[in-house]
Amino acid sequence: MSVIRVLGGAVLGLAASVAFAADPDQAIRATLTKLQPDMPIEAIAESPMTGLYQVHLKGGRLLYASADGQFLMQGNLYQFKGDDAVNLTRQAESKGVAKEINSIPTSEMVVFSPKEPAKAHITVFTDTDCGYCQKLHSEVPELNRRGIEVRYVAFPRQGLGSHGYNSLVSVWCAKDRQAAMNQAKSRQELPAATCDNPVAKQYELGQMIGVNGTPAIVMGNGELIPGYQPAPELAKAALEAK
């Protein structure tokens, strides 16, 4: 599901033919259901801005709507506090992303842990065929040394059935997932393996929370960082976000 695809722009003035309802929740749901019948609405509540309602979608994404459901907006809502501008949308979406990511059992990930108890963790949507994913993986020992646990989830960039997808399935179905991930990230072909695996489910989750490339790194607080970051900077960010 792509909210951006549905809306087609930042702001939509909806037709007056939309059925009105006395309850803002009902009016907004009627509008969104008309736009996309399967839109995964989790909750609708008043936003910090008077007269504006925020729509929480599964995966952490946020939309804004007028109480009568006639106007819908996709974008960032800021609040100015003194000289600082706080991105309220980003804060709320990060909480939603953290909820989704933290619900994934570590048994469904490929985890590289420090020898000592971890100080923080990152969750990385990865593709074995991605050059920057391979570069990031080469720095996992340094991240571990700095106390950061690295948790991999699957995101085959070319989609289901691609070479990357098959490679990720082979990693998740290997007897030793860590060894298989090391081998795949070294550009070595893995023995084909199949099993009941979460690769497709994790790929769908990545799309839902806004991942559109790899590596995509999720901090402990749900902040999403697109793209490769060097180990020292990434470890610092992870410690600050735990």
Active site residue 130: yes
- Tokens, residue 222: 């749900």
* Residues in CB range of 35: below 8 A, 6 or more apart: 6, 7, 72
Tell me which of 29, 130, 151, 173 is the catalytic residue: 130
d(CA 229, CA 242): 17
Asked if residue 225 lies in contact with residue 242, where contact means CB atoms within 8 angstroms, the answer is no
Q: Which of 29, 61, 129, 133 is catalytic?
A: 133
Active site residue 173: no
Q: How far apart are CA 191 and CA 160, in angstroms?
A: 18
Rg (CA), the chain: 20
Q: Which of 61, 127, 151, 173 is catalytic?
A: 127
User: Does the annotation count 133 as an active-site position?
Assistant: yes
Catalytic residue among 61, 151, 157, 173: 157
Active site residue 157: yes
Active-site amino acid positions: 127, 130, 133, 157
